[in-house]
Amino acid sequence: MNMTKWSFGYQLLKYSVGTIFRLFYRRIEATGLENIPKKKPIIFAPNHQNALMDPLVIIFTTDKQPVFLTRADIFSKPLLLKIFTFIKMLPVYRMRDGAESLKNNERIFEKSVEILEAKASVGLFPEATHTDKRRLRPLKKAVPRIAFMAEERNDFELDLQIIPTGIYYEDYVHSNSKLFVNYGEAFTITKFKDTFLENPQKGYAEFREDLAARMKKLIININDIEHYSIYEQIRLFYRSTMKKRMNLKGTKLINSFKADQQTIESAEKVFLNGDQNIEVFGNQYRRLELGLRKKGFNILDFESQCVGKTLASTIVLIIGLPVFIFGLLNGGIYYYFIMKFMRKIKDKQFHTSFKFGIVVVVIPILFLIHSLIFWAISGNGIWAIYFFIAAMFSAVLANKYRYLFKEVKKQWKVILLKWFKTKDYKGIMKTRQSLIEYLDGLFFPA
């Protein structure tokens, strides 16, 4: 495939797979799309959180056809090589791939420069490897190396645009979660030109430092890795309170992101850089969580209760039960084996990529076989087509039904506790409020 040109086949695949991608998540929002320039060479520089899903996020939330440079080991099989090449991915070799393999990067970087010279876009993960932590790892040399190579070969008149990008997943492992993408303001390497011409390595270093600062503004960045889990608890537990403090109204994901970012900044200010001991909160929170877990609850279940919404969701579950049963009968056995196989994948950051690959490639083939069997038995081709369409949609709806059922079940448990075990409920809410007031006093001292 000529990666420097717009591809109709790629675009067709982008629309079809993009539809599945949007159904795979519960909700997707992107902000900063106005920062992506038209008809200029672009390097997208996103944080790396979720294996192969990360490039798909950029592909399906922009109107570009970016060529992504990604880890070479996923190209190991001939079939995978053809697939990833078709969807405009190029392999980048690391030391773990063998010292000899590193020589291949020169060819890949040359190809990347050709793509940029054609005013197309390239996607590069500055961290080089993904992480399961909400933090930015140290940036590597690939982005500045390609950027300076491209500009130097064009007398620094290419006007290459770097787009720092933040990707936020509500949940790395499960489908039907929320996804937020934050595109930052484009910048060029102009201000690093003189430094680079005098000392290339120093130019690279200054570029990486600047890019890292820009990326940190677009992500949730937890620096205190030793107490990472406690910061995550604080982020989720205090979110609704911080949104009120910041007057962030509505349900847009950017509001939750802004609140989370401010919460982590405030928490690290008093715990990591201040004189407060984060273990004090951590111990109180763990005691509350442990007590609730024994009763089948989580402290986040007590965020808010609305009987009307819960009742409405219950009615939806009742109405949707036949669809769930149809989807379960068609795909339940496959779901069982998929989950069983996934337990063998040690790196959880690949779980979502694996699930999505199954949904896009394997499930349609299996349901097509179902439809052919239906055709053979019924002798009616039209109804076989209807069956295929119904099976596909019922599988999607059954998955969303499963998550809704879990959510409604938790809501009813809290409501029933409030109604019939008022003393226990009030005790939990009192303890919860005391923890919020404790954080309030630290984050917003009088």
- What average pLDDT score do residues 409-413 get? 95
pLDDT at 96: 67
Residues 6+ apart with CB under 8 A from 257: 168, 180, 182, 220
- pLDDT for the residue 177: 93
100 pLDDT higher than 70: no
Enclosing domain of residue 368: 307-428
β-pairing, 27-31 vs 67-71, is unpaired
Give yes or no: residues 142 and 241 share one domain: no
Does 346 or 362 have the greater pLDDT score?
A: 362
Q: How confident is the model at residue 86 (pLDDT cuts 50, 70, 90)?
A: confident
Same domain, 96 and 134: yes
The answer to whether the CB of 288 falls within 8 A of the CB of 432 is: yes
CATH number at residue 46: 3.40.1130.10
Secondary structure of 237-270 as H, E, C letters: HCHHHHHHHCCCCCCCHHHHHHHHHHHHHHHHHH
Question: Is 215 in contact with 47 (CB distance < 8 Å)?
Answer: yes
Contact 178, 253 (CB under 8 A): yes
Query: Residues of the chain with pLDDT > 90: what percent?
Result: 74
Does residue 90 carry a pLDDT above 90?
no
What's residue 82's pLDDT? 77
Torsion angles phi and psi, residue 166, rounded to 5: -115, 125
**How many Å apart are CA 133 and CA 112, to the nearest integer?**
29
pLDDT of 253 strictly over 70: yes
Q: Are residues 208 and 255 in the same domain?
A: no
- Assess whether pLDDT exceeds 70 at residue 258: yes
- Is the confidence at residue 271, as pLDDT, over 70? yes
Flag whether 71 is in a domain: yes
pLDDT digits (tens, 9 = 90+) for 10-34: 899 899 999 999 999 999 999 999 9
Do the domain assignments include residue 358?
yes
- Helical axes 363-378 vs 381-420, angle rounded to 10°: 120
Does residue 186 sit within a domain? yes
Task: Let me know whether 166 and 261 are in one domain.
Answer: no
SS3 89: strand
Residue 99 is predicted with a pLDDT of 62
pLDDT of residue 151: 96
Helix spans in 69-103 (H): 78-86
* Number of domains into which the chain is organized: 3
Residues 317 and 420 in one domain: yes
**Does the residue 3 lie in any domain?**
no
Q: What is the mean pLDDT of the chain?
A: 91
Q: What whole-number distance in Å separates Cα of residue 177 and Cα of residue 320? A: 20
Angstrom distance (rounded) from CA 183 to CA 164: 6
Q: Are residues 247 and 212 in the same domain?
A: no
Enumerate helices (H) and strands (E) in the chain, giving the number of each. 16, 7
Confidence of residue 350 (pLDDT cuts 50, 70, 90): confident
Q: How many CB atoms lie within 10 A of CB 318?
A: 9
Model pLDDT for residues 199-216, shown as the tens digit of each residue: 999 999 999 999 999 999
Shared domain for 19 and 163, answered yes or no, is yes
Give the pLDDT mean for 62-81. Answer: 80
Average pLDDT over residues 410-429: 94
Decide: helix, strand or coil at residue 431: helix
pLDDT given at position 351: 87
Give the mean pLDDT of 168-193.
94
Q: What confidence tier does 343 reach under pLDDT thresholds 50, 70, 90? A: confident
C-alpha distances in Å from residue 221, one per residue of 54, 125, 237:
17, 16, 17
Contacts (Cβ under 8 Å, ≥6 apart) of 56: 21, 356
* Confidence category of residue 93, pLDDT binned at 50, 70, 90: confident
pLDDT for 1 beyond 70? no
Q: Is a pLDDT exceeding 70 seen at residue 226? A: yes
73 plus 153 within the same structural domain: yes
Q: Name the residue among 26, 32, 102, 98 with its Cα closest to residue 61.
A: 32
Residues in the chain, how many? 446
Half-sphere exposure in the Cβ direction for 56 (13 Å, CA): 26
pLDDT the model gives residue 406: 94
Residue that wins the pLDDT comparison between 216 and 336 = 216
102 and 203 housed in the same domain: yes
Judge if 141 and 241 occupy the same domain: no
- Kindly state whether residue 292 falls inside one of the protein's structural domains: no
Q: Pairing state of beta strands 67-71 and 89-92?
A: parallel
Look at residue 72 and tell me whether its pLDDT is greater than 80. Answer: no
pTM of the model: 0.91
DSSP annotation of 346 reads -
Q: Is the same domain home to 153 and 248?
A: no
Q: Is residue 77 domain-resident?
A: yes
pLDDT level of residue 310 (50, 70, 90 thresholds): very high
Same domain, 328 and 375: yes
- The pLDDT-based confidence of 78 (bands split at 50, 70, 90) is confident
Assess contact for 428 and 302: CB atoms under 8 A.
yes
